[in-house]
Amino acid sequence: MKRSIIGRVTIGLMVLSLGECGASSLSNDKDSQKIAQLDAVKDSYYAIQKIENPDVEVQLAAVNKNEKAIKFIKNPDKEAQLAAVKKNYTVIKFIKNPDKEVQLAAINQSRHAIQIIENPDKEVQLAAVNQSYLSIKFIKNPDKEVQLAAVNQSYHAIKYIENPDKEAVHLAYQKIRGEK
């Protein structure tokens, strides 16, 4: 079976490269190229790395086959990014500069996504901390509001904040004393 899949992928890729070269024996029609691309990525998501500028439908087919296909797509469409991250939040590490919606989708999958996201903004930080105050451990220089949200869940959060805001320290002290 493995040989059969490899054969179909090879044929699909040959069709793609011949189509791009303008071979007269094969239709240069965009639809036939797209069908060949779809067949190739449905057989093996690795085929996506051989396709230059795949359209959204081809990207989605590859990501639906295996979410790790996202790492082989140079400029993945937002829809493909979301589909990949919703299947497995860890693939966000393969996406260059994911936008806020993609980051939040990863956080919604797991609070641990905050460890992978580079420079999350305040909204993304809050989403992670609202799932668990322990997320504060992985946020460099958390915003004051994020610190307060974490400490409000548990005064233990204060020990994970490198330079806590005075208000966060005060809130932690109040919670320890049972005042809040």
Given 46, 65, 88, the domain boundary residue is 88
In tens, the pLDDT along 81-114 reads 999 999 999 999 999 999 999 999 999 999 999 9
Residues 49 and 2 in one domain: yes
Residues 84 and 125 in one domain: no
Residues 1 and 83 in one domain: yes
Query: Is 143 a domain residue?
Result: yes
Angstrom CA distances, 79 to 55, 85, 122, stand at 11, 10, 23
The total number of structural domains in the chain stands at 2
Residues 77 and 130 in one domain: no
Residue 19 has pLDDT above 50, yes or no: no
DSSP 4-16: HHHHHHHHHHHHH
Query: Is 109 a domain residue?
Result: no
Residues 147 and 73 in one domain: no
Distance between CA atoms of residues 40 and 170, nearest Å:
60
Residues 14 and 57 in one domain: yes
Residues 125 and 61 in one domain: no
Given 71, 88, 105, the domain boundary residue is 88
Q: Which two tokens stand for residue 100?
A: 């806020």
Which range among 24-33, 53-62, 106-115, 165-174 shows the weakest confidence by mean pLDDT?
24-33
pLDDT for 22: 46
Residues 82 and 127 in one domain: no
Containing structural domain, residue 43: 1-88
| pTM summary value | 0.79
Query: Is 136 a domain residue?
Result: yes
Residue 8 has pLDDT above 80, yes or no: no
Strand (E) or helix (H) holding 25? none
Query: Is 49 a domain residue?
Result: yes
Task: Say if residue 69 is exposed, middle or buried (CB neighbours under 10 Å; 0-12, 13-18, 19+).
Answer: buried
Residues 8 and 84 in one domain: yes
Query: Is 94 a domain residue?
Result: no
Residue 23 has pLDDT above 60, yes or no: no
Residues 124 and 165 in one domain: yes
In tens, the pLDDT along 53-75 reads 999 999 999 999 999 999 999 99
Query: Is 98 a domain residue?
Result: no
Residues 129 and 78 in one domain: no
Phi, psi of 97 (to 5 degrees): 50, 60
Residues 4 and 60 in one domain: yes
Mean pLDDT of all residues belonging to the chain = 87
In tens, the pLDDT along 121-165 reads 999 999 999 999 999 999 999 999 999 999 999 999 999 999 999
Distance between CA atoms of residues 128 and 143, nearest Å:
13
